Structure 1
Amino acid sequence: MKISGLSFSLLVAFSVSIFPSQAQKNLSLEDAIQQGLQNHYSIQIAKKREKQALNDNTLGNAGFLPTITGNFNKNYTISGLDQEFFGGLRAPLVQSGVNSNSSNTGVAMVWTLYDGKGMFILRDRFKELQNLGAKQTEATIENLIALISASYYDIIRQDLRVNNFKKGLEISNDRLKLAKDRFEVGQGSKVDFYSAQVDYNEDKALLLAQEQSYLSTKIYFNTLLVREHMIDFDVVSTIELLPKLKLEELKNQALQQNPNLISALLNKKVADMDIKNLQSQQQPVIDLVAGYNYSTVNNGAGFGVSRGSSDVMNYGIRASINIFDGSNQKRRIQNAKINAEIADLQVLDLKNTLVSNIEKAYVNYENALNLINLETENYGIAKQNIDIAFDRFKVGIATSYELREVQRNAVAAETRLIEAKFAAKTAEIELIRLSGNLL
């Protein structure tokens, strides 16, 4: 498909106009991470869950504090009476619409003094759940930092590829002008001129596709930072690597500080505490109980007490123990022990997977480093070949096909170098994330 110069210019102008130029500014990786951590919904959700765990970690929730309840009742009655007495000792009593009322006000307290140390176990359990919530938040933060970092360097990769294709297009443009001039003065063939035109159009199409990919990557990145999708920004188009990472250090650090592994260990602690908590429920429970009640009565009937009140205070100690509940408590303890065994297996599985992932990422990392060295050399040779081939083409020694092949090799060599640097950087980020060093 042939794309005219005017059509290409309009398409590029439209693509660039997607982003408002007045909003364009430099964006560092550190600033992007800060915005992501502040705005991203996953961080907000993780922090709210962590706050829930903090709210649950109280003495009252563990059972250390007494429970006090109050009650108030007020009852009204309307009744009728028709009574006759033996021996005519008194006249018959006939009444209707007799209004009476009574009230009862009370407060009761139960304070557990001993429950087989269950309250102490629950206190420690809530503390570990709070620690677990903090570690889960940390894991969420590290995952987001890794994602933002990899996406940031993907933008750099896309930008470098755009510049690479632009350089290739410049060569094609110079070749097209030279072929056209030769054809017009009768020193070149029409085939060479048309071939140069087709190759130029092909390179323009490749550049347009790459610019579209670059803009799409920016839109995704803005979405990741939870900000206006069309905000434009610039990045420093270099991919710098850290000093070479060491495999054994990464594995040792991961086994000590990887937040997902620490979360699994905390889950194992919680599972062990669940066993102890259920076992404590087999012990007697001793409660301190106390209460106070105040009652009043207003009797509208013409006999008995017309009105009165009373107050009662009671206190004492109550003891209870589960003697038999259909072996349900035993069943719950057995299941809790199985859960603890599962949690232990999950820790071992996570350790195994963690070390495996580090080793696989390190293989990718080393391979990318080796490719960088190789492709750096290839790119240097390819650039020299471009200069030589173009000079030969100017004097008519090299053919149009030879120049095109040299040009393609140069573009491909730089593309491979860009991809190798990006692969090394993403592997580096993943290794740091797995080792728990991103924070």
Structure 2
Amino acid sequence: MSSLAARQAEAQVLTLEQAVQEALQNNYGIQVAMRQAERAELQVTRGNAGQLPSVDLNANYNASVNQAIAEFITGQTLDQTARASGLGASLRVNYTIFDGLGMFYRYERLEENAQLQQLNSRLQMENTVAQVISTYLEVLNQQQTAETAQEAVAMSAERLYRVERLLGAGQLTLLDKLNAQVDLVSDSTALLDAQLLLQQSKFNLQYLMGSSSALPELDRQIQITTGLDYDN
């Protein structure tokens, strides 16, 4: 069970801080950047810079089978098979005594590349955090818009109901009913648009969090903290 699914089992509210930590753990872009940083760090060795001897080991094995058949005038036949095999190995050690400080420059470049990848990893994390915060707030905003649109539809439906009753009593005209119907259709369309935008913003948040689980209810009491843990 994922951490998001576990939280859903315990509580139906996802806080902003939880969403950020989920993204730091599961976001694909962050994982790629961290792996690249780890590989770059592993490349920072004296051997890769050419400061250590290199060893080449070669081994080979040869085998052959020779068969000779001789037939004499006496009618006798001689059949002989000869087998031969050979095993060889060689070891070569290479070491550059001095290459004009090139080995030291290469080591510095390896270190600089590792530092650059670490910086890129950190930047990826910070960008993702900013995107999660923005998208989280967007979901809340779209939820509010959808709720407002839902209330407008309910009010328009109630208005149409009252107009139809008054029309039956002869107190209103067909034009009043038509206007009420137009308002209801307009509000219903706005509700559909708001719901689509809400679903899209929820999908975007799930993508940033690296989660395929259904998104729980978001916490509307936003608390921004600067104590985020980028290392875990």
TM-score, scaled relative to structure 2: 0.70
| Residue 37 in structure 1 maps to residue 24 in structure 2 | yes
**Identity over aligned residues, as a percent?**
27
Residues 390-401 of structure 1 correspond to what in structure 2 (within 5 A)? none
Instruction: Quote the offset at 1:109 in angstroms.
Output: 2.9
Paired with 2:64 and 2:180, the residues of 1 have a C-alpha distance of 107
Aligned residues: 206
Equivalent in 227, 233, 240 of residue 216 of structure 2: 233
Aligned positions of 1:166-245 closer than 5 A: 166-228=150-212, 231-237=214-220
The structure, 1 or 2, with the larger RCO (C-alpha pairs under 8 Å, 6+ apart) is: 2
For the pair 1:54 / 2:41, whether they are aligned, the reply is yes
How far has the Cα of 1:72 moved from its partner? Answer: 5.4
Alignment check: 8 A CA contact 1:70 1:106 kept: yes
In terms of fraction of residues, the more helix-rich structure is 1
Q: C-alpha distance in 2, partners of 1:157/1:177?
A: 30
Report the AA paired with residue 48 of structure 2: N
Shift in alpha-carbon separation, 1:193–1:50, aligned structure 2, 3 A: same
CA deviation string 1:92-119 (max 9, x = no partner): xxxxx99998876654433333222222
Q: Distance in 1 between matches of 2:85 and 2:223?
A: 86
**Residues 221, 164 of structure 1: CA spacing in aligned structure 2 closer, same or farther, 3 A cutoff?**
same
Work out the CA distance in 1 between the residues paired with 2:132 and 2:94. Answer: 53
* Deviations 1:348-397, CA, capped at 9 Å, x for gaps: xxxxxxxxxxxxxxxxxxxxxxxxxxxxxxxxxxxxxxxxxxxxxxxxxx
For residues 168 and 145 of structure 2, what CA distance do their matches in structure 1 show? 34
Partner of 1:157: 141
Aligned-partner Cα distance in 2 for 1:189–1:76: 107
- Distance in 1 (alpha carbons) for counterparts of 2:106 and 2:112: 10
In structure 1, the residue corresponding to 2:96 is in which secondary structure?
strand
Q: 1:183: Cα distance to partner? A: 3.1
Q: Which amino acid in structure 1 is aligned with residue 19 of structure 2?
A: A
Distance 1:172 1:103 in 2: 93
- The offset of 1:49, in angstroms, is 1.3
Asked if the contact 1:158–1:213 (Cα under 8 Å) also holds between the matched residues in 2, the reply is yes
TM-score by length of 1: 0.40
Gaps of 5+ in 1: 1-21, 80-96, 243-438
Aligned residue for 2:112?
128
- Specify whether residues 236 and 108 from structure 1 end up closer, same or farther in structure 2 by C-alpha distance, changes over 3 A only: closer
Match of 1:286 in 2: none
Paired position in structure 2 for 1:13 = none
Pick closer, same or farther for the CA change 1:108–1:176 going to 2, 3 Å.
Answer: closer
Aligned-CA RMSD value: 3.8
Residue deviations 1:382-434 (CA, integer Å, cap 9, x gap): xxxxxxxxxxxxxxxxxxxxxxxxxxxxxxxxxxxxxxxxxxxxxxxxxxxxx
Distance 1:238 1:76 in 2: 79
